[in-house]
Amino acid sequence: MDCIEALKTRRSVRAYTGEPVSREVIEDIIDCGRLAATAINIQPWEFVAVTEPAMLRAIAGVAEFGRFIAQAAVCVVVLCKDTKYYLEDGCNASQNILVAARAHGLGSCWVAGDKKPYAEKVARMLGAPEGYKVISLLAIGHPAKPSHKDKRPLSDVLHWEKF
């Protein structure tokens, strides 16, 4: 699948088959996150790939609106050092990971991390050093069912020269 198709067909998936995803594919997906745009090339990110079922259940148990993480093949937790543009950089990396997952034929869903009450707990569960913030919890796996939520048409959101 090419990049444009992956971007245009990516949708949030909250139901997974439980089929594993190979380490090679997980590494390729996270490598795409590592290559995201970053302010002043600071690259404040670190990625934790969680595949252990007990830890997936533990994360799902504390993540508001993220109970489906327990059924994902992997949860990629994106953390960033607390720098001036940590949130923007972490979001860029997260989006790259979501699109890369789609390009590999997988489903994914972004669960918020930054500013959520459970973010600190997740960081401690994963052994993150002080000064790192959880940006996102990215559930990834083989979709149990396709997601076909329509997006607003371009004509509704594109404005030329002025709003």
| Within-domain flag for 33 | yes
Residue 149 has pLDDT above 80, yes or no: no
| Within-domain flag for 32 | yes
Give the per-residue pLDDT at 55.
98
CA 63 to chain centre: 14
| Within-domain flag for 162 | no
State which residues form the domain around 146. Answer: 3-157
Give the per-residue pLDDT at 112.
97
Mean pLDDT of the chain: 96
Determine the Cα–Cα distance for residues 105 and 122; give it in Å rounded to an integer: 28
Kindly report the CATH number assigned to the domain that includes residue 131.
Answer: 3.40.109.10
| Within-domain flag for 163 | no
| Within-domain flag for 41 | yes
CA 105 to chain centre: 15
Q: Tell me the torsion sign for CA atoms 129, 132, 134, 140.
A: negative
Residue 146 has pLDDT above 90, yes or no: no
| Within-domain flag for 106 | yes
Which residues on adjacent β-strands are paired with residue 143? 16
Residue 148 has pLDDT above 90, yes or no: no
| Within-domain flag for 86 | yes
Please give the tally of structural domains in the chain.
1
Give the per-residue pLDDT at 33.
98
| Within-domain flag for 63 | yes
Strand order across the beta sheet in which 132-141 lies: 45-50, 74-81, 132-141, 107-112
Give the per-residue pLDDT at 10.
93
The 10s digit of each residue's pLDDT in 28-71 is 999 999 999 999 999 999 999 999 999 999 999 999 999 999 99
Determine the Cα–Cα distance for residues 135 and 20; give it in Å rounded to an integer: 24
The 10s digit of each residue's pLDDT in 73-95 is 999 999 999 999 999 999 999 99
